[in-house]
């Protein structure tokens, strides 16, 4: 049988590691299932590319290539604006070089297999306009949930119908009118970009949402069995939606997972812990807590009496996403020695409560890792019984794929919406209650929630474990041959093949 002709597509992301990692994982799955495809990923950059992204390039299949656009100097961006604004402005400043890259890939004179389609991150959807100019098929690859996509697609209508700030609304928001099966969202739980309608963040996002009409379809990192209500509601709105997830790293990933400071010691530590006994605590690649909250979290974990593995990042009193655009080495944060007994390590952890490291060591209760750890390996480990997470969608999916129940601690972006979906919609996690103007979660509340999740005798925790195990099985079924997500991806492939023929 003759081999099918090579089909070449371009995939455009943004200068943020979590989005780039998700797009690369999607591209690898596409090539695994449909090896006659070739993918060129195009990444705008701010300064130099993230070290974590560079480390992933060593394990890419030969038919997947990455092109970095000329970097946008940081001083060309407003220095005191939120990361979401800086990212979107950086993408906009990269449009001329993006157009040149796509024109080159489209040209038959420069490529034996010119691109026929473009897949764009929602925050890089200027690529949709360029695709139309070049007569290319175009899709949006949407890394977050279908519920978040529903909000984005309906934001222009909400903007017209609601006059006040969303956070001031007395009643919960029905993102799609008449869809009572969808989880409702209170105004303060909408993404941070929507909390001030006079801000540049809001205006940029609204303009991007209006540009979605140019897309030929939406590839969403979710699966039907998890978000049936949102997916069905969007399809009733006549959006061309393809749930192709969960796209998530597996516990066998390598990349940065070896060498000094790689966090490999924490996997060895897990090996000697009882099954499902350890709470994994991490706030993603960019999340930070205030110094007060770091102290309360440390004392709450200790007070819970439960074993924990905590990926600690230095506190920031300025922003919950202070590390999001930083280019620190994900696997080697100035401190190559994560030995809790090391004087160097203790010196780097001076912001933790006095005596905390010594107490958890003497009680053999926990392990502290600086800045980075092999998350997928940890979540898939038999000793891991819970995940205190910032509710980034990549992390949430990794937890679901591994069947690990969650404590939802959202920080920024759409993470509050994810927390609502996880705790109120899917009921696979608990959410601690904050207090005071600064929204600090106190140690007693932390200890209570940790015990409720981790202890076998707690009815609430048992129900959560049962439901996330069902969701884990659903995720596996969706990604198998003949599963809902595999079929959805095949439908996308068929559309691209027909367009290119």
Residue 257 scores a pLDDT above 90: no
39-48 per-position pLDDT tens digit: 999 999 998 8
Contact between residue 467 and residue 428 where contact means Cβ atoms under 8 Å apart? yes
Which has more confidence, 51 or 309? Answer: 309
Q: Helix, strand, coil % (nearest 5) of the chain?
A: 45, 15, 40
In this prediction, residue 438 carries a pLDDT of 79
User: Which of 90, 110, 113 lies closest to 43 in space, CA to CA?
Assistant: 90
Domains delineated in the chain: 7-245+481-500 (3.40.50.2000), 264-475 (3.40.50.2000)
Characterize 351-379 residue by residue with b for buried, 16 or more Cβ atoms within 10 angstroms of its Cβ, and e for exposed: ebeeebbeebeeeeebbbbbbbbbbbbbb
Characterize 278-287 residue by residue with b for buried, 16 or more Cβ atoms within 10 angstroms of its Cβ, and e for exposed: bbbbbbbbbb
Residue 31 scores a pLDDT above 80: yes
Q: What's the mean pLDDT in 476-492?
A: 98
In this prediction, residue 339 carries a pLDDT of 60
Residue 299 scores a pLDDT above 60: yes
Least confident of 42-56, 210-224, 288-302, 397-411: 42-56
114-159 per-position pLDDT tens digit: 999 999 999 999 999 999 999 999 999 999 999 999 999 999 999 9
Give the residues across from 46 on adjacent strands.
Answer: 72
Helix, strand or coil, per DSSP, at residue 227: coil
In this prediction, residue 4 carries a pLDDT of 83
Residue 337 scores a pLDDT above 60: no
Chain mean pLDDT for the chain: 91
Q: What's the mean pLDDT in 418-430?
A: 97
In this prediction, residue 111 carries a pLDDT of 61
Residue 492 scores a pLDDT above 60: yes
Residue 86 scores a pLDDT above 60: yes
Residue 17 scores a pLDDT above 50: yes
Give the residues across from 120 on adjacent strands.
Answer: 12, 140
In this prediction, residue 285 carries a pLDDT of 79
In this prediction, residue 280 carries a pLDDT of 98
In this prediction, residue 251 carries a pLDDT of 60
Find how far residue 23's CA is from the centre of its chain: 11
Residue 364 scores a pLDDT above 90: yes
137-142 vs 218-220, strand pairing mode: parallel
Least confident of 103-117, 153-167, 417-431, 445-459: 103-117
| DSSP characters over 75-118 | GGS-TTS-HHHHHHHHHHHTHHHHHHHHHHHH-TTT-SS-EEEE
In this prediction, residue 110 carries a pLDDT of 59
Helix (H) or strand (E) holding 167: none
Residue 468 scores a pLDDT above 60: yes
Cβ-proximal residues to 64 (8 Å cutoff; 6+ apart), any chain: 24, 27, 28, 31, 38, 39, 41
Q: What's the mean pLDDT in 99-117?
A: 87
CA angle, residues 184, 199, 216, in degrees to nearest 5: 60
Q: What is the 3-state secondary structure (H, E, C) of 377-444?
A: HHHCCCCEEEEEECCCHHHHHHHHHHCCCEEECCCCCCHHHHHHHHHHHCCCEECCCCECCCCECCHH
Contact between residue 214 and residue 138 where contact means Cβ atoms under 8 Å apart? yes
Residue 73 scores a pLDDT above 70: yes
In this prediction, residue 158 carries a pLDDT of 97
Residue 264 scores a pLDDT above 90: no
Helix, strand or coil, per DSSP, at residue 43: strand
Share of residues in the chain with pLDDT > 90 (%): 78
What amino acid positions are annotated as catalytic residues?
19, 121
Cβ-proximal residues to 121 (8 Å cutoff; 6+ apart), any chain: 12, 13, 14, 19, 23, 140, 141, 143
Q: What's the mean pLDDT in 270-288?
A: 94
CA distance linking residue 167 with residue 146, whole number of Å: 22
Kindly state the tokens that stand for 89. 């402005």
Which has more confidence, 223 or 107? Answer: 223
Residue 90 scores a pLDDT above 90: yes
203-215 per-position pLDDT tens digit: 999 999 999 999 9
> Is the omega angle on the peptide bond into residue 246 within 30 degrees of 0, that is, cis?
yes
Cβ-proximal residues to 388 (8 Å cutoff; 6+ apart), any chain: 279, 280, 281, 282, 406, 407, 409, 450
Residue 253 scores a pLDDT above 90: no
Q: What's the mean pLDDT in 86-97?
A: 97
CA angle, residues 229, 425, 436, in degrees to nearest 5: 140
Residue 332 scores a pLDDT above 90: no
Tell me the CA distances in angstroms from 486 to 141, 144, 253, 492, one per residue in order: 15, 18, 21, 10
37-43 vs 64-68, strand pairing mode: parallel
Kindly state the tokens that stand for 188. 């303060």
Contact between residue 100 and residue 53 where contact means Cβ atoms under 8 Å apart? no
Q: What's the mean pLDDT in 221-238?
A: 96
In this prediction, residue 500 carries a pLDDT of 63
Contact between residue 42 and residue 16 where contact means Cβ atoms under 8 Å apart? no
CA distance linking residue 368 with residue 415, whole number of Å: 24
What is the four-CA torsion angle of 180, 187, 21, 223, rounded to 10 degrees? -10
In this prediction, residue 178 carries a pLDDT of 87
User: Which of 143, 149, 393 lies closest to 285 in space, CA to CA?
Assistant: 393
Contact between residue 403 and residue 380 where contact means Cβ atoms under 8 Å apart? no
């Amino acid at each position: 049988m003759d081999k099918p002709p090579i089909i070449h597509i371009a995939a455009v992301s943004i200068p943020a590691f979590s989005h780039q990692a998700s797009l690369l994982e999607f591209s690898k799955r596409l090539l695994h299932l449909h090896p006659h495809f070739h993918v060129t990923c195009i990444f705008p950059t701010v300064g130099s590319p993230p070290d974590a992204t560079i480390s992933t390039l060593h394990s890419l299949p030969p038919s997947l290539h990455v092109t970095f656009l000329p970097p946008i100097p940081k001083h060309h961006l407003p220095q005191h604006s939120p990361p979401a604004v800086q990212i979107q402005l950086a993408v906009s400043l990269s449009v001329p070089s993006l157009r040149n890259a796509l024109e080159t890939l489209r040209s038959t004179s420069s490529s034996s297999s010119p691109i026929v389609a473009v897949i764009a991150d929602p925050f890089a959807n200027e690529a949709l306009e360029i695709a139309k100019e070049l007569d290319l098929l175009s899709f949006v690859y949407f890394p977050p949930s279908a519920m978040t996509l529903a909000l984005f697609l309906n934001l222009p209508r909400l903007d017209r119908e609601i006059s006040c700030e969303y956070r001031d609304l007395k009643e919960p928001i029905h993102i799609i009118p008449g869809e009572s099966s969808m989880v409702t969202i209170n105004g303060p739980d909408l993404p941070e970009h929507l909390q001030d309608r006079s801000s540049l963040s809001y205006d940029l996002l609204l303009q991007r949402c209006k540009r979605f009409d140019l897309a030929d379809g939406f590839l969403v990192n979710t699966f039907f069995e998890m978000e049936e209500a949102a997916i069905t509601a969007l399809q009733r709105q006549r959006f061309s939606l393809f749930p192709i997830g969960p796209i998530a790293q597996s516990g066998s990933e390598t990349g940065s997972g070896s060498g000094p400071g790689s966090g490999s010691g924490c996997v060895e530590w897990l090996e000697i812990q009882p099954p499902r006994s350890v709470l994994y605590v991490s706030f993603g690649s960019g999340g930070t807590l205030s110094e007060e909250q770091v102290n309360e979290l440390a004392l709450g974990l200790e007070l819970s009496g439960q074993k924990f593995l905590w990926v600690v990042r230095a506190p920031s009193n300025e922003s919950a996403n202070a590390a999001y655009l930083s280019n620190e080495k994900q696997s080697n944060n100035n401190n190559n020695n994560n030995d809790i007994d090391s004087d160097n390590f203790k010196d780097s952890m001076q912001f933790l409560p006095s005596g905390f490291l010594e107490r958890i060591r003497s009680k053999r209760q926990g392990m502290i890792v600086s800045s980075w750890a092999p998350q997928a390996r940890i979540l898939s480990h038999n000793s891991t019984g819970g995940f205190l997470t910032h509710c980034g969608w990549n992390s949430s999916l990794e937890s679901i794929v591994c069947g690990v129940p969650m404590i939802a601690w959202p920080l920024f972006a759409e993470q509050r919406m994810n927390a609502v979906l996880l705790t109120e919609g899917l009921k696979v996690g608990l959410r601690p209650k904050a207090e005071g103007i600064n929204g600090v979660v106190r140690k007693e509340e932390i200890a209570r929630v940790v015990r409720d999740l981790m202890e076998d005798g707690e009815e609430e925790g048992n129900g959560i474990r049962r439901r996330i195990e069902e969701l884990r099985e659903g995720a596996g079924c969706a990604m198998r041959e003949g599963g809902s997500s595999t079929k959805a991806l095949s439908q996308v492939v068929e559309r691209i093949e027909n367009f290119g023929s």
